[in-house]
Amino acid sequence: MVKDSSRFINACWGKPHNAVPVWFMRQAGRYQPTYRQLREHHSFLQMAHSDTVITDVTCRPVEELGVDAAILFSDIMIPMGPMGVDFDIQEHYGPVIAHPIRSGQDVKHIKPLRPEKSLPEIFRSIEQICRRIDPVPLIGFAGAPFTLASYLIEGGPSKTYTETKKMMWEQPDLWKELMKRLADGVISHLSAQIRHGVQAVQIFDSWIGTLGVEDFEYAVLPTMQEIFSELNALQVPTIYFGTDNLALLPLIKQSGARVLSLDWRVSLAEVRKELGSQVALQGNLDPVVLLSSWEVLARKARRVLEDMAGDPAYVFNLGHGVPPGTNPELLKRLVDLVHDYAPATGSGMEI
């Protein structure tokens, strides 16, 4: 089969292509021996601020696994530093904020982001990566305001999001102000990434599923609509990722994202029926399957592919990130299984 380097972008737009495109969230990370070696000598944050490391770690999955897109090696928290938030990222735990944001004063301290000025290493890397993997596309990303706010307000990972919800309900004006500042940061960061060469952008709203429908509609959706309307004007595919968000999907569809990235709790075939063909879908293999045998993995992956068989607006991915204990060989076999599965459309094929 001819390698079609634009199959990921074509699938995002629902255009014909010659095989189902595949990439993985956290395709660069601790499951790779080379990544673990680098981590022995550097902290995650040191790595995420070094242009040579960013470039190398981002490109490797394309070179080693044959995935159809790279995703920038960085973190949703990185732009928070120049926006005035002091944080660290603790291994096996996540982001920890030195001074959680709770008051009007705290929110006022969140500064506008001038991405090229404060994070020049990221934009140098984007240019290096695009040259190195050309014509394979690079995906840029940012955290969504809600998921970022949940870390900033709680001070770290949370199960209940109590302080976040309290601010949303008890101080709606403060919440709006925080959403606005974060949304402006997301828009400037992603616009700059696009100017420097990324060919698609994904917004990570990992924890949005904690919200009820009404709260999402009033406290988050308008912000997401503003972000996607700004980004869609830049003519690259926009992807909105969330987990545990089945009840929110009809509203999430109204966000304006071109592609919805979903987790394993939903049936993609059902979602397609429910939402129609106006959006592309991405997902949704349960990442824990990567820790099982090849037989189980292959069966579960084929099940996902069957759900979306023949649908041109579909990108194979996991429902969340690659787990650290994954065997890289299995991941490589999974990429081949997806590519060999079946043509994505009945027309426009180059076999």
Which residues belong to the active site? 26, 30, 39, 75, 151
Q: How far is CA 219 from CA 109, 160, 259, in A?
A: 21, 17, 22
- Residue ranges binding ligand CP3 (CB under 6 A): 25-30, 39, 44, 71, 73-76, 89, 91-95, 141, 204, 206, 321
Q: How far is CA 145 from CA 25, 182, 213, 275, in A?
A: 19, 5, 17, 24
Comparing CB distances to ligand CP3, the nearer of 141 and 312 is: 141
Query: Which residue's Cβ lies closest to ligand CP3?
Result: 206
Q: Are 136 and 69 in contact (CB under 8 A)?
A: yes
Closest distance to ligand CP3 from the beta carbon of 249 (Å): 18
Comparing CB distances to ligand CP3, the nearer of 60 and 302 is: 60
Residue count (the chain): 351
Q: Report long-range pairs for 96-103 (Cβ below 8 Å, ≥24 apart).
A: 96/155, 96/156, 97/151, 97/152, 97/155, 97/156, 100/152, 100/153, 100/154, 100/155, 100/163, 101/149, 101/152, 101/153, 101/178, 102/153, 102/163, 102/167, 103/174
Closest distance to ligand CP3 from the beta carbon of 283 (Å): 13
Closest distance to ligand CP3 from the beta carbon of 181 (Å): 19
Phi, psi of 96 (to 5 degrees): -125, 125
Within its chain, how far is the Cα of 123 from the centroid?
Answer: 18
Comparing CB distances to ligand CP3, the nearer of 39 and 124 is: 39
Tokens matching residue 87: 């944080």
Closest distance to ligand CP3 from the beta carbon of 200 (Å): 13
Q: Are 71 and 58 in contact (CB under 8 A)?
A: yes
Closest distance to ligand CP3 from the beta carbon of 329 (Å): 18
Whole-angstrom Cα distance, residue 237 to residue 62? 20
DSSP, collapsed to helix, strand or coil, labels residue 88 as: strand
Comparing CB distances to ligand CP3, the nearer of 132 and 302 is: 132
Comparing CB distances to ligand CP3, the nearer of 49 and 272 is: 49
